[in-house]
Amino acid sequence: MYYSWSKEFLEAGKRRLAGDTARAATCDEVKDLRRETLALKECVADLMLENRLLKKA
């Protein structure tokens, strides 16, 4: 299992160094993912605050 992962990782690195830099995501997809990330971070912050308040109670 480790060997196959290592081989895939090294091959991907070789492709990147050779100039194979194709992107799978479009600009709109990246913007959507950034918005989703921000929303999730806000949710985590709210849950952390709530957790902290409950621990103090």
pLDDT of residue 36: 97
Q: Output the pLDDT for position 20.
A: 60
pLDDT value of residue 56: 92
DSSP state of 25: S
CA 34, CA 17: separation in Å to the nearest integer? 27
Spatial distance between the Cα atoms of 4 and 55, rounded to a whole number of angstroms: 45
Cβ–Cβ under 8 Å, residues 39 and 47: no
The pLDDT profile of the chain, 57 residues, written as one tens digit per residue, is: 667 888 888 888 888 787 766 667 788 888 999 999 999 999 999 999 999 999 998
